[in-house]
Structure 1
């Protein structure tokens, strides 16, 4: 029997006012799986993340989390149900690193020091953040801010993590270290949907990948297959799937 879906959407349409962006999108991520969502800028990848995370209601279709229909569930409630999102390097710039991590832990009980232990655990994984624990997040480098937003998942321990363009603007050596942290989260049991414009980054991480073009899913392949088909990858990324 195949593993159950950690998160899935079926027939999802979405629009910004009169401009439709998504057309009947179907995506699924099984428990424990890492899946990529690739394509050039402007094809609807981030809009799909917004729909999955609850920041935007779809015009049609359903979103399921562990088999439960969450299409109408607010974003904050989805976090409590086990869905977390990392978008770029977003953090609360005026708050210190420690204050950011405590903010991320709003789903963690304050009883018996659980939140403190969760924050200490995140610092153990990211010692550089511990060194900067009293600095405002606005003073961190891009790589350090990305560590900070990834650290929240160590506190929240989500069943599903949506990662949107986390390598954007970062040096390759920094990206390499962050990829290993994402793999570690996966080994801890978190399923991931990784949204990436850099197909090389995505395919170095995921088990399989979807490709989007003009708001629709145009292809789905395993990472192993794509590694042997560079011409196919180039065609998909340039919008030449036909």
Structure 2
């Protein structure tokens, strides 16, 4: 199990009713690796994330976490195996920053461990520490995104999945959030980023998967893709990106 990837999806087909959305989609994220899944809107990226999280049962295919087949597991069991997903700026608006973080310690009955984990998360995010007693509804968009990322320190995930974390945020805020994702990766979390901004993804991850019409059509290193602006342009425009021979 020690050599198994942190996350693996193979041969995933998934549908909404009679409409098939994913066609044998697959990807892997190695332990300690950062990987991006890229593609225009509507190609099935969020659907694949639902399959990974256990929110949508695939028609065929398998999902593994650390070598364990979790295809038949519910979301709670997957979280127990170290999966954590950050979707946008999802927070509990009426709860304070501290209360939001404490909520993510539900998986343990050790209140001291939860308290210490919350303090550790706040230490990593000074802006949140200064606002620890404010309701999440009073935070800026960037601060709410920080709060969504901070929960990952509390739960200490083995696999962190982030969906569109730069959406609607100023470039200076995105740059700060990217540094925080790198720090979470350095703490031991493998990271899968689903991101609309190709430039953000290429400056953050090690490898890139490209999706088009429910299929993974290419896989390469971020460095290789960064050197090929024509492929990047085709990806951004939603055109088919040919796999190199």
Bin of the TM-score, shorter chain as denominator length: over 0.9
Partner of 1:17: 17
Q: How many residues align?
A: 240
Q: 3-state DSSP class of the match of 1:175?
A: helix
Quote the Cα distance in structure 1 between the aligned partners of 2:45 and 2:211: 7
Question: Structure 1 residue 94: deviation in Å?
Answer: 1.4
Moved over 4 A (4+): none
Relative to the length of structure 2, the TM-score reads: 0.95
Check whether the contact 2:36–2:194 (CA below 8 A) recurs between aligned residues.
yes
User: Could you say what the CA RMSD is over the residues aligned between the two structures, in angstroms?
Assistant: 1.3
> TM-score, normalising length from structure 1?
0.96
1:30-56 deviation digits (Å, cap 9, x = unpaired)? 111000000011101111111101111
- Structure 1 alignment gaps of length 5 or more: none
Greater shift, 232-241 or 139-148, is seen at 232-241
Task: Give the C-alpha shift of residue 109 in structure 1.
Answer: 3.9
1:7: which partner in 2?
Answer: 7
Q: What are the residue-to-residue correspondences of 1:48-127 with 2, within 5 Å? A: 48-111=48-111, 113-127=112-126
Q: Deviations over 1:86-124 (max 9, x none)?
A: 00101111111111101111123425x111110011111
Residues 92 and 100 in structure 1, CA contact (< 8 A), matched pair in contact too: yes
Q: How does 1:144-155 map to 2 (within 5 A)?
A: 144-155=143-154
1:182 counterpart SS class: helix
Describe the SS at the equivalent of 1:73: coil
The equivalent residue for 1:186 is 185
Change (3 A) 1:187 1:206: same
> Is the Cα contact below 8 Å between 1:108 and 1:156 reproduced in 2?
no
**Other-structure match for 2:168:** 169
